[in-house]
Amino acid sequence: MTSGTLSDPYTGVTIPFVRGNVTSEAVQIDHIVPLSWAWKYGASTWNEQTRVLFANDPDNLLAVDGPTNMEKSDSGPSDWMPPNIAFRCEYAIDFVGVLASYGLSIPVDDRAELESTLREC
């Protein structure tokens, strides 16, 4: 049996977990820039190889609290930011870094939220 403890960056809570059909939902791997969000802002033009690279890019993956990840879903920054205020700067930096790495565009409302967050860092 595999088990561990996650210091969840999204909530700031420590989550003990045990790998299993029911308990594994406590921790999920999140795409910082959601796949469907990326599709709307440039990924739809990518070839399959680039889409696979993006989906598996460690710079875009983060172990987080499962329920919080489900709440985030495919939201951009204007609709969802981590409830842990102390992590928002890092989240915004990571989000922007992934956008830049893949040449994704960004809608005005998400840009405004990221700029506002980064000004407070």
Q: What is the pLDDT of residue 25?
A: 79
Dihedral sign, Cα of residue 52, residue 7, residue 73, residue 94:
negative
Instruction: Give dist(CA 35, CA 40) in Å, integer.
Output: 9
- Does position 94 have pLDDT exceeding 90, yes or no? yes
Instruction: Give dist(CA 87, CA 120) in Å, integer.
Output: 12
Q: Are 121 and 89 in contact (CB under 8 A)?
A: yes
Q: Which amino acid is at 49?
A: Q
* Overall average pLDDT of the 44-69 stretch: 97
- Does position 96 have pLDDT exceeding 90, yes or no? yes
Using CB atoms within 10 A of its CB, is residue 4 exposed (0-12), middle (13-18) or buried (19+)? Answer: exposed
The domain total for the chain is: 1
Question: Residue 1 — very low, low, confident or very high, per pLDDT cuts 50/70/90?
Answer: low
DSSP E strands, the chain: 3-7, 14-18, 27-31, 61-65
* Overall average pLDDT of the 15-24 stretch: 76
Range of the domain at 79: 3-119
